[in-house]
Amino acid sequence: MDRHPIDQWAKAELAHVRSTVARLIGAAHARAEHNQVAVWWLGRLPEGWHVVNGIPLGESGATIDHVLVGPSGVFTVNAKNLTGHVWVGASGIRVDGHATDFVHDAIHEAKRATRLLAAALGRPIDVRPVLAILADGWSVQEPHEEIFIGAPRGVRDWLRRLPPRLEPSEVSRIAAVASDPMTWYELNADSGQPLN
């Protein structure tokens, strides 16, 4: 006996929903794993550094993977876990020959963090973008001018070599503001409601 077409549609729809949920859970799991690698390396910075992980930006689902605050300044770290070969040049990043938006996205993230932290602190602040990428292989033609790009261990080593720019009291104040979830919500000036 043939099943009713609505039953067949319902089964197909349920299978699609289950598949979508499984993909989302798998992607979230993979993202959590690569972020744990970055967290592990960044957690090995010297005393005086503060790491704020997984900062949600409003209700849009966007996050900043990591914000680092230390003697050398303030940094947003966008972490990636890639299969394949990464090529870095002045024009950006390619993975297995395919262009990416990684540099654009990381710079945008740092600019947004600059704006939100400055508003919360009540003074200008400079936030520098960083990309921490795990990959099978690397080719660096030339460093990018606006952003530091490296493996998580290389990011940690680069940060340790930078000269101090902030006093310990400034580091503590900025780290406290960066740790406050309310820092990361932009308010609509007319309504007082979150924009994101």
Non-local CB neighbours of 34 within 8 Å, separated by 6+ positions: 79, 80, 81, 134
- What is the rounded average pLDDT for all residues in the chain? 80
What is the per-residue pLDDT for 149?
92
| Residue-range domain boundaries for the chain | 5-184
Is residue 74 within a helix (H) or strand (E), and if so which, with residue range?
strand 73-81
What is residue 149's three-state secondary structure? strand
**CA-angle at 124, arms to 143 and 80, nearest 5°:** 35
Q: Which of 55-64, 157-166, 172-181 has the lowest mean pLDDT?
A: 55-64
What is the per-residue pLDDT for 91?
82
pLDDT tens for residues 128-148? Answer: 999 999 888 888 888 878 899
Please give the model's pTM, rounded to 2 decimal places. 0.76
More confident residue, 182 or 32: 182
Rounded average pLDDT over 69-83:
94
What is residue 127's three-state secondary structure? strand
